[in-house]
Structure 1
């Protein structure tokens, strides 16, 4: 589909053209590729237990196995809802970036392909949350409003690096979920679909970030390094809503307190971000202020 538009003298066009070809060869339709009809089997977890915010805490040790499974199902539904929220931000940033640009350019065509992927992913996540018996989890109102501002003003490397931050963290989680037989089968399928398709999105985001930074001066680079870090902080801290503990029948105050002090979960987050931090360092986006924000979010 894209080979006719490849411009071999331009590496950026070549990357986008290769991504278009890859998408044509391997993409999914969640409406038919996910088993939506089989009733939810509550003998399974919603995610790997080790990714639970309470795993390894005293509260986790007191919970029954049924409570642990319900908690992981609610947590993965919350992560899916946060994913929908951010994917809607992503779509608007990419559309704004491509507005009135050359439609014959493979980069333009890839951007629209990515948006189409994200639309399918958001529907898939919404249906998965419903199947898991979860409510519509949302970030705090203040975070939603900050997201509204970010999607309206972020440009260049800030937009694409923020996309990369969100997708990299979820990618590592979902690679674990899709391989774990303790996880309910339809979530494993969803995780596999998202990992395959988002790998192309992350490739494009890395290339776009590098390309935009090539023209950035020191002041712009330092400013966007902090903007990206702040966006990462709010994305990661919004993944699991405190409401999941209520839905799982737990004491929310105790659960929030123990989750906030859970060193195991913090270590999981840091390990999931090791590759991301290497990329940001190579792009000179780990300034001192940015590092302070990443440490506060337990990403480094």
Structure 2
């Protein structure tokens, strides 16, 4: 099994991450100007990342409708991200409960929970500011996720966390210096990108450590869980109801988005870095590769 990351001592890493957290963290209540008006004509997503971009339905939309659709798609992605942040906090709390409370490794797990709490509040305030629904994942995903949160751990937990964090991170990074995008969104993204970089480092190293002792049957189980999570999360990021906001039939528009080669490429692009990492460390392989292909992530 290939290894691209040689895990260093976990306490050394944790101390470095704790130091970085003290030196470079944000308070969204202070660092985001929530009272600032949105800038007329600025977008909410790069047009090429909107699910209908390049389709006949997209061609029928006015420039104003395209901006409105992007706003609702961003709101849907954000509300799914908010929900996953809360699931992650539950996973981390259960993980931290079994760690030595004297160790920096445990202290950083708790620090990350604090970061995620602020992120969830920041996302919620953003959705409220934009005046859009909190779409979130459907009940069919929320209910099984409770079982996932209570039962899963080890490599599948960290790999699933990385899929969510690194796919949204790539989208957010692409907007940091994009003058087409609302300044408030760019600031929210900047805060999240800076703090998530530490979370990614922590999770990547823990994933590699956890893989060292897995048997082949256990590895296949963790691969399966991770693939199902990746497929599910990517599928629910854009809620069908967003299309109704611009007068489109949700069923017709969702079908068009699913078949849209531009949208499929966006999904693959968002997941490109984490898919490469998970492949190299052995978490993508065997029969479950079909799930990743079906999700248009390979």
TM-score, normalised relative to structure 1:
0.94
Q: Secondary structure at the match of 1:180?
A: coil
C-alpha distance in structure 2 between counterparts of 1:125 and 1:295, whole Å: 30
Deviation at 1:107, TM superposition (A): 0.8
Counterpart residue number, 2:88: 90
> Which residue of 214, 217, 220 corresponds with 1:216?
214
TM-score, normalised relative to structure 2:
0.95
Deviates more, 1:64-73 or 1:266-275: 266-275
Counterpart residue number, 2:289: 291
> Which residue of 60, 63, 87 corresponds with 1:62?
60
Q: Is the 8 A contact 1:42 1:69 kept in 2?
A: no
Deviation at 1:251, TM superposition (A): 2.5
Deviation at 1:42, TM superposition (A): 4.0
Counterpart residue number, 1:282: 280
Counterpart residue number, 2:164: 166
Kindly provide the CA deviation profile for residues 175-219 of structure 1, in whole angstroms up to 9, marking residues without a partner as x: 112221111110010011111110110111100100111111111
Superposed, 1:1-300 pairs within 5 Å as 11-300=9-298
Unaligned runs of 5+ in 1: 1-9
Q: Is the 8 A contact 1:174 1:195 kept in 2?
A: yes
C-alpha distance in structure 2 between counterparts of 1:159 and 1:99, whole Å: 15
- Paired residues, number: 291
Unaligned runs of 5+ in 2: 1-7
C-alpha distance in structure 1 between counterparts of 2:142 and 2:132, whole Å: 20
C-alpha distance in structure 2 between counterparts of 1:179 and 1:237, whole Å: 27
CA RMSD of superposed structures (Å):
1.2
Deviation at 1:288, TM superposition (A): 2.7
Structure 1 runs (4+) deviating above 3 angstroms are none
